[in-house]
Structures are given as C-alpha cells and as structure tokens.
C-alpha cells in the first residue's frame, strides 16, 4: 500500500491543473465583466476605472496576464502610458517578477520529480542543460525585450535552480524589460518627439545587446547563414570531367 505522502505527490499535478483551470475560468469571467480588450487603450481605461487602487489593479493585471490573455509587451507599454516611465518601470518590473515567481512556485508545487520524469522522456538532457545555463540564461530571457517568459520561468521551477537564485535573476531583469517598454509607452503618443526616438533607441540597443557576447553572436550568425544543404547537393561529374550533355559525343 502506498504511503499517504506518495499519494499526495502523485495528485499534485492534477490539483495544480484543476487550480489553473479554475483560475483561467475566473479570469475570463473577470475579463468579460471589465471589458478588457487586446489593446493598450482598453487596459488604460480598465486601470483608470480602479480609481485609487489603480496601481494595485495594474499589478494584478500583470500578475495574472497569462490567464487574461494579455502579452507582457502590451501591459508593460500601458504602464508608461498610465504612470509615466519611472513609476511604470517600478510597477511593471515588480509585477513581472511576481508573475515569474508564481510560475516558479506552481512548477515546484506540482512535484519536481514527477514533472522531470515527463520532460526527460522528450528532452533527456533537460536537467544538465538547465544546470549549465542556470540563472544567467533566465535573466537574459527575462530582461531581453523580445525574450520568451512563461515557459522558461515555469521550467526554472522544475530545474534545480534555487528560489533565491531565481529571484536574484528575474528581479533586476524584469525591471530592465519593464523600463524598455514603459519608456516607449510614455512617449508613444508623441511619435517623432525626442523622447520617442530615445525610447526607440533604448529598445533597439537592449534588443541587440546580447549579440555583444561572442558565443551568442556566433550561434546567431550560424542560425541565419545558409548552409550547403540548403543550397542543394552538387551534381556529380562523370569520369573524364565531362557532363552528360557533352557536345563532343555524337547525338543518336
């Protein structure tokens, strides 16, 4: 007979999935009640409707943005429109870091061993790669303006990265990402202004900055360069150096 602790561990993934489904349903109900649409203007109107609780309302939107179907680019840009570049960066960055910790904690609660067993069936070297890359890679993906967030934050909870190391990686990186989009949001209604072009420059530099690392630059160039296999195999040349359509041979 299995021990109660083992039964609870086996049930954890199903409890988490049930909780996710419940929160997802509730979030969609809240979204329909608030009338949140996939636009910065809609997010602005929703947050302004919170009145004195606007800041907390915005943090809640970022914290549960996956359930509401709101991409981070949209909500972080809205932070600059709503609160300006400074406060927008602070609120957006802290909320983004809280969202990352929520995904990390959910992955840990599901049971690391059970989830790893499922992942290793498709990616046997997942744990080794996670240990090798570790927090720096999580920080890069979080801080980069176009980095992928949700799957990597969840995967960090499954990996052997400790909670303090994860927080130390995502907190400053979240502020960097939030700053890029909050600055853009603060001037997005004034295209052509000095602030707008400064924001675009900051966003471009932040996007290209990882290429300053030689290893990342080499991998990027290797990915975009055409290979010999993409061009196609070379045509074989018969012995004697003549092709099949050699004009010296008489036609039948």
Q: Could you tell me if 174 and 143 are in contact, meaning their C-beta atoms sit under 8 angstroms apart?
A: yes
> 5 Cβ partners below 8 Å, 6+ apart?
none
The per-residue pLDDT of the chain, averaged, comes to 76
Angle at 135 between CA 103 and CA 10, to 5 degrees: 40
Instruction: Tell me which range, 6-15, 47-56, 162-171, 222-231, is most confidently predicted by mean pLDDT.
Output: 162-171
- pLDDT of the residue at 148: 85
Q: What is the pLDDT of residue 243?
A: 47
CA–CA gap between residue 193 and residue 247 (Å, rounded): 68
For range 145-173, the mean pLDDT: 87
User: Within a 10 A sphere around the Cβ of 52, how many other Cβ atoms?
Assistant: 7
Residue among 117, 152, 116, 114 nearest 13 (CA):
114
Cα–Cα distance between 70 and 44 in angstroms, integer?
13
Chain mean position to CA 82: 23
Q: Map tokens 């809240």 to a residue.
A: 30
Q: What CA–CA distance (Å, rounded) separates 214 from 73?
A: 28
Closest C-alpha among 20, 16, 19 to residue 67: 20
Q: At what angle do helices 40-48 and 54-63 cross, to 10 degrees?
A: 130
Average confidence (pLDDT) over 88-102: 94
pLDDT at 96 over 90: yes
| Of 28-32, 133-137, 156-160, 210-214, minimum mean pLDDT range | 28-32
DSSP 148: -
Q: What is the mean pLDDT of residues 96-110?
A: 88
Q: Which pLDDT band holds residue 110 (cuts at 50, 70, 90)?
A: confident
pTM of the predicted protein model: 0.69
123: helix, strand or coil? coil
């Amino acid at each position: 007979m299995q021990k109660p602790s083992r039964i609870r561990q086996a049930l954890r993934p199903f409890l988490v999935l049930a909780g996710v489904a419940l929160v997802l349903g509730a979030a969609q109900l809240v979204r329909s009640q608030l009338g949140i649409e996939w636009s910065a203007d809609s997010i602005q109107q929703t947050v302004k409707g919170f009145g004195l609780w606007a800041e907390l309302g915005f943090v809640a939107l970022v914290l549960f943005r996956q359930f509401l179907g709101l991409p981070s680019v949209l909500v972080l840009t809205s932070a600059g429109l709503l609160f300006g570049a400074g406060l927008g960066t602070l609120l957006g960055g802290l909320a983004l870091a809280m969202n990352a910790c929520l995904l990390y904690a959910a992955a840990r609660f599901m049971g690391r061993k059970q989830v790893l067993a499922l992942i290793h069936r498709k990616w046997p070297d997942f744990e080794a790669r996670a240990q090798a890359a570790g927090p720096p890679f999580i920080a890069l993906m979080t801080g980069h303006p176009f980095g992928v967030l949700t799957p990597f934050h969840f995967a960090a909870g499954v990996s052997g990265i400790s909670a303090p190391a994860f927080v130390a990686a995502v907190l400053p990186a979240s502020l960097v990402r939030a700053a890029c989009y909050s600055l853009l949001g603060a001037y997005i209604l004034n295209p052509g202004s000095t602030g707008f072009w400064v924001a675009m420059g900051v966003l471009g530099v932040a996007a290209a900055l990882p290429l300053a690392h030689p290893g990342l630059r080499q991998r990027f160039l290797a990915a975009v360069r055409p290979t010999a296999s993409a061009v196609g195999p070379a045509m074989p040349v018969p012995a004697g150096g003549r092709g099949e359509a050699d004009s010296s041979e008489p036609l039948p």
